Amino acid sequence: MGRLFGTDGVRGVANADLTAELALGLSVAAAHVLAEAGTFAGHRPTAVVGRDPRASGEFLEAAVVAGLASAGVDVLRVGVLPTPAVAYLTGALGADIGVMLSASHNAMPDNGVKFFARGGHKLADELEDRIETVYEQHRTGAPWDRPTGAGVGRVTDYAEGFDRYVAHLIGVLPNRLDGLKVVLDEAHGAAARVSPEAFARAGAEVVTIGADPDGLNINDGCGSTHLDLLRAAVVEHRADLGIAHDGDADRCLAVDAAGEEVDGDQILAVLALAMRDAGQLRKQTVVGTVMSNLGFKLAMEREGIELVQTAVGDRYVLESMKAEGFALGGEQSGHVIVLDHATTGDGTLTGLMLAARVAATGRSLAELAGVMERLPQVLINVPDVDKTRVNTSAELASAVAQAERELGETGRVLLRQSGTEPLVRVMVEAADIEQARAVAGRLADVVKSALG
C-alpha cells in the first residue's frame, strides 16, 4: 500500500479514492493511536470536526464523526469553517484531536482529511505512519476493540465556534481597519461567512465576491488560484485592496488598488517590517522556502532581517519556526504563519494583518509591497528523466555553475526533483526576464541530455 498521508493529510477524489469507509477507518485508527500514545490518559477524549462546503464533505463528515464516536471520542461538530479555525478551536477548547475535511485549493471533486493533535498542531509524521499501519491491520481482519453503553462518544453541534474564532481574529489585530474599503474573494469556500464578518467587525467597508458556496462551486474560477475576478472588482469598486482565499482559507493572496497582484513573498515582506517595528519579529528573522523570490531575500537583507529558507511546503516552514522560535514564516503561494496567533497558515488572519498595516501607515498596499522588487522567475518542468540523479550529475553541475557565473548576484538557479512526478523543476531568476528564459531553457536541455 502506498502512503496514504501526503504533506497535507489524506487527499483524493471523494467517493473514489477517499471513501466513507476510508474516512471512518482512519478516524477510528487515529483515536486508537492517540489513546496508545497517552493523549487521552485520565479523561474522556474530545474531538473538534469541521469541513469546507464541498458536497462530499457532508457524507465524509458523517463518516469521521461516526468513526470517532464509535471509538469513544466525544465530538464537537463545528460545521463549515476554515482549516485554521478548526486548528484554533482544537487548541482553545482543549480538545484531544481536530479533524478538517477539505482539499484546500483543489477542484470540487477532490476532498481530504487532515488531523490535528492537541493544541491544534499538525500530527507528527510518526503518528501519521502509525495511524496508517493500524488502519491497514484492522481493514484486513483484526476487529476493533469498541466501547459500548455509556462508553460510546457523544456528538454535539458547536455553533459557538464561529463567533469564538472571529473574536480571536479581531483580538489579535494591532489596530482597526476604519476607513479602508476591501474586496474579499472567498473562493465559494470555508471562509465565505467568517472572513467578511471579521473584516466588517474590524471596521472595514467590505465588498464580497465568491461568497455563495453551493457545495459544487468551490475554487471554480475564483479565489487565490484565479485572481482575475478580484482584480476587476477592486478596480470597479475603487477599493484600497483585495484579498483572495483558497477553499479552506489557510492561505491569502492580495491585489493592490490598481489590481496588481501582491504575492506571498510580498505579503511576508510587509508583515516582517510591521512585526519588526512592533518588536514582535523574534531574532529579526523570517522563514521562507527555497522558492522564495530572490527579490524578497535582497529586500530582507537591506532591512537587516535574516531569511531562513526551508524545503517547499508549509509544514517545513512551520517545523523551522517551532524549532528555532521564529515568529513569522510562509510561502510565495500565500501560506503565511504568524506563530504567536496561529498554529498553521491562516488566510483570514493574514489578510487582516496586511490591511491593518495599510490602515496604520496610511500608505497604499502598492507602496508597502514596493519594499521588494519581485525579480522575474522562470520555471520549466522537465519530464521523463531520472530525477534521482539531479544532484549527482557532473555534466549538470557544470552547467549550473556556468549559469550562476553568468547571472551573478542578481540571479539564481534552483534545480529540484518533483516529490510526486518523474520530473525535474528548473527555476531561474534574473533581473532581466529574457536572460532568465534563456538560461532556464539552456539548463532544461542539459537536464534532458544528462538525465534522460
- Give catalytic residue positions: 104
Closest CA to 285 of 301, 303, 262, 308: 308
SS3 425: strand
| Contact indicator for 290, 309 with CB cutoff of 8 Å | yes
C-alpha cell at 220: 471554480
Q: In the chain, helix, strand, coil percent, each to 5?
A: 40, 20, 35
Give the Cβ contact number of residue 361 at 10 Å: 14
Closest CA to 108 of 247, 252, 253, 249: 247
Exposed/middle/buried for residue 190 (C-beta within 10 Å: 0-12, 13-18, 19+): buried
Closest CA to 103 of 53, 143, 35: 53
| Contact indicator for 151, 183 with CB cutoff of 8 Å | no
Residue 292 marked ligand-binding:
no
Dihedral (CA of 419, 425, 428, 429) sign = negative
Closest CA to 100 of 271, 379, 320, 343: 343
| CA 308/CA 52 separation, integer angstroms | 32
Residue 248 marked ligand-binding:
yes
SS3 290: coil
Query: Which residues are documented as binding site?
Result: 104, 246, 248, 250
Query: Which residues are documented as binding site for Mg(2+)?
Result: 104, 246, 248, 250
